[in-house]
Amino acid sequence: MRAYLIVDVDDLLDRLEARKLALDLHEVSMTLRNGATLAAGLVSSDALVSVAVANWNRDRAVPGRVGTSVQQIFVTNGFEVCNAPDRPFVVDVMYANYFATGDEPVDELILVTTQPDFASIVQRIDLNPRGRVRIWGDDDPGVADAIYQPLETILGIPTKTVSLYVDFENITIGLNEQGYVIDLDRLVNAMSRQARAHGQVNKMAAYAPWGQRGSLPPLVDAQGREISDEAPSRLALSNIDPVFNLPGKNSADMRIAKDVLADSSTTGSSDIFIVASGDRDFNDVFGTLRAKGKQVVVWGIHGSTSRILENNPAILLEYVDDFAQFQRHTDLEQIYHEALINEHGEPLAFRPSQWSSVVLQCDIWTAKHPRSPLTIDDLTDHLIEAHAVTNPARGEELLGQAQGLGLIDVNASGIVALNNNHPITQATRIIRDRIVHRVANTLSVRNWEYVNYGFLLKGLSMDLDLTGPGLNIDDNWRSEWIDALVREGLLVRELVPHPNNPEDLVPVIRLPDVDANPAAVVLPEPPPSIEVVASPEEIEEMMRRIVVSVEQFTSFRGFAWCPLGSLHKRLRPFDSGMLFQQAIEVLVEDGSVSIKEYQNPMSNFLTKGISLVEQADLVTTYLEERDLFIKGLLELYQERTPINIESIQQACPVPPETFKTWVSIMELENVLNLVPGHQDLYSLFRTHHTVVRVAEKYGFENT
């Protein structure tokens, strides 16, 4: 018996994607093959010729499965692959590969497609008079005498459609009141999964006063880190539309009721309407939906759902805490402490959160009231005043979770004590102190009114005291913390006109006014070593590096200038604190270099660059020292003498105090390279453009 299952993979994937069906492709391919085996009456799928036809020149990856291709999935499940890169010739390709030389007629042909051109293969196949043709797809391609079956029945796809409306504030508050730790990712995934269990999802929306700081109870990730600000983006990634509604008890209810009634009145509206809210205010809406023949599902929280809803026989009531399986607040400290590193053993980024707000505001209140004990009511009022939470209920919920996390301790009298040994406390204070101190110190030393945002980011990236697991990771991390300290009132962020383009506003950071500056009473005096002036020897060493790097960059590329930011990045391993900046200032004052805004050929914006003043004494001195050093290396090479530290010292006439610097410069500039497997043996990069120029200068041949 000749039986074929031929799958139009490109059409199948496009259909699944268009219907937003998040199906496991492995299960889809297995279901198709097993279903075809049964439909053909075969004992085993081995007797079925299963063919996956597609333009396999396209690299189609499987969503959510890194490193796995669509082709790999089908091959693993027993399919042969037929490559048809040109769609107009797909039938010719299939016929030539599988039916052109067949001696026996086909008994069973099953085509998975909705495309008439693909299904036209039936007209060219020698079919047994009693043979059957089946078409599985979303639409009948109109093949005469073929048995059409909807693909959804083959794959077991629910036929009913679903719309989901989540009163996100109501649900999260209810979960928090019942003592649950609200793992945001778990909540989002559980809601998506439960909605799909009812049918094909047409719409999912979550309503809350997004962006209103403190309006939601603390939401955490699997590591126990507070991520409430990320809720809208994480919902959107799961195809749940975050809809903004104004703060207020009935605001979300009215917006949801309006949308539900409007959506249910449209042509082709969903069969099932799910409303995630425990409020009884929707009873009239549910009655209207039932009158329209819609099925109503309500998601509530045990202990927080209206009894009117629980006793309504016309609705199906499900509980979020049943299908999401959250942990309790009492487990939060263990969750946090056991998950400070990711699955690769690397420390997780320590980002600003509501926990950080608790630490900072505790310190601010205590500094302002050094002789008064901090009570839970005082701290709640202070959090509301600082806009960390919106009302006393949210404040109590936040502090309750902070207590469960071990961040604070509240005694029987309601006195709050911050846990100074908690990692959140320690990391938050380090970050606060370093950022605020750097702003204060820069303003004081340079007599500026404010610090440019980009300048502050660059300075923080070089702060050797801002170190630790999960700290000072990148500019995005630093920017998040600067903005967090602005929200907490420790810094002020403003927009001021750019000095070269007054119409262009740039962000700057300054300290609050003295009378309103909490930092003045929170932070200890900065240690005197924060901006230590480098020694003359250190500055001169950096000056040599700058001159050589700029000369090599400009001479090799034929440029008149070198981007200052790129230069700093290159020399950053040798920069401690403000050393690079101080060396630049000395070179500018000496007239050895020029700093200007240049037109960047790679950008529409001006770029700050540095150029050498070639006639300057320092420039000519440093470059002559470099050339003599390279001349000595060339002599060692011509004499076939091993190039090591000892031979370099003898051949290269530089002062002993600068010898190590010049060796380091030669390594950085790629003139000298350590020989693999040797700690004190170098190879000379003879075709290096600077080496070639020095060789020509001193008359070396065959280098």
Please report, for the domain that includes residue 93, its CATH number. 3.40.50.1010
Judge if 308 and 421 occupy the same domain. Answer: no
Judge if 151 and 222 occupy the same domain. Answer: no
Judge if 172 and 149 occupy the same domain. Answer: no
* pLDDT, tens digit (0-9, with 9 covering 90-100), for 468-483: 777 888 888 899 899 8
Which of 217-231, 288-302, 436-450 has the lowest average pLDDT? 217-231
* CATH label of the domain that carries residue 629: 1.10.10.10
Higher pLDDT, 46 or 247: 46
The DSSP H or E segment spanning 3 is strand 3-8
Beta carbons of 513 and 535 less than 8 angstroms apart: no
Higher pLDDT, 350 or 273: 273
Judge if 299 and 189 occupy the same domain. Answer: yes
Please report whether residue 515 resides in a domain: yes
What is the rounded average pLDDT of the residues 651-678?
89
Which of 209-218, 283-292, 294-303, 420-429 has the lowest average pLDDT? 209-218
Strands (E), 356-454: 408-410, 416-418, 451-452
Please report whether residue 571 resides in a domain: yes
* Residues ≥6 apart with Cβ < 8 Å to 697: 627
What is the rounded average pLDDT of the residues 247-274?
87
Q: Pick the last residue of a domain from 614, 629, 664.
A: 614
Judge if 392 and 511 occupy the same domain. Answer: yes
Judge if 409 and 549 occupy the same domain. Answer: no
Judge if 113 and 181 occupy the same domain. Answer: no
Judge if 623 and 671 occupy the same domain. Answer: yes
Judge if 180 and 308 occupy the same domain. Answer: yes
Domain count, the chain: 5
Higher pLDDT, 413 or 206: 206
* Triad 88, 90, 92: Cα angle to 5°: 100
Please report whether residue 702 resides in a domain: no
Q: Pick the last residue of a domain from 155, 181, 215.
A: 155
Residues in the chain: 703
Residue with the two structure tokens 């036209």: 120
What is the rounded average pLDDT of the residues 484-496?
89
Separation CA 58–CA 83 (nearest Å)? 10
Please report whether residue 349 resides in a domain: yes
Please report whether residue 147 resides in a domain: yes
Please report whether residue 450 resides in a domain: yes
pLDDT for the residue 609 = 85
Domain of residue 48, residue span:
3-155
Q: How confident is the model at residue 533 (pLDDT cuts 50, 70, 90)?
A: low
Q: Pick the last residue of a domain from 301, 329, 357.
A: 329
Q: Show the DSSP H helices in 462-578 as ranges.
A: 475-487, 519-522, 536-557, 564-571
Please report whether residue 335 resides in a domain: no
DSSP string, 212-272: -TTSS---B-TTS-B-GGGHHHHHHHTT-EEEE--SSTTHHHHHHHHHHHHHHTSTT--SE
Judge if 189 and 287 occupy the same domain. Answer: yes
Which of 45-54, 425-434, 514-523, 627-636 has the lowest average pLDDT? 514-523
pLDDT for the residue 596 = 84
Judge if 429 and 367 occupy the same domain. Answer: yes
Judge if 608 and 623 occupy the same domain. Answer: no
Please report whether residue 334 resides in a domain: no
The torsion angle over the Cα atoms of residues 6, 11, 14 and 17, rounded to 10 degrees, is -40
Q: How confident is the model at residue 346 (pLDDT cuts 50, 70, 90)?
A: low
DSSP assignment, residue 69?
B
Whole-prediction pTM value?
A: 0.50
